[in-house]
């Protein structure tokens, strides 16, 4: 059995799909960083709506707020992400008719299976 945590959110200010890792956790390690990078690389390759250039700034080492996703990553020494989605539209792939929609959210959710599969053999 392996552990991976994904917590999906909507971001009111940034018009992009991105994920936030646990780099600020006291237990953040090279193993977790490698898993995060492999996950994000795979997701970018499988989903045009996902990107890594825009997002929140990285939390300095040891300064994470150990609640929610950070707590899970720290407690279980596992890959843990908060996925952020735009409320209105994805600025990198805008849709003038529907903007960001429930249908696009469902497609993004389905696409996350590919990066999970890409790292599954390395999860604990």
| pLDDT more than 90, % of the chain | 97
**pLDDT confidence of residue 1:** 62
pLDDT(2) > 90: no
Domains of the chain: 4-122 (3.40.630.10)
Cβ neighbours, 10 Å, residue 18: 21
**Dihedral of CA 63/80/21/15: which sign?**
negative
- Strand runs (DSSP E) across 23-90, as ranges? 79-86
What is the average pLDDT across 87-106? Answer: 96
Question: So which residues are the catalytic ones?
Answer: 84
């Amino acid at each position: 059995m392996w552990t991976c945590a994904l917590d999906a959110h909507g971001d009111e200010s940034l018009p992009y799909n991105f994920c936030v890792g646990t780099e600020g956790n006291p237990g953040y390690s090279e193993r977790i960083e490698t898993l995060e990078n492999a996950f994000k690389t795979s997701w970018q390759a499988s989903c045009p709506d996902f990107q890594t250039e825009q997002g929140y700034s990285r939390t300095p080492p040891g300064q994470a707020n150990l609640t929610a996703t950070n707590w899970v990553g720290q407690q279980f020494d596992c890959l843990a992400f908060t996925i952020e989605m735009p409320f209105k539209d994805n600025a990198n792939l805008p849709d003038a008719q529907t903007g960001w929609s429930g249908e696009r959210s469902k497609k993004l959710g389905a696409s996350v299976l590919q990066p999970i599969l890409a790292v599954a053999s390395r999860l604990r």
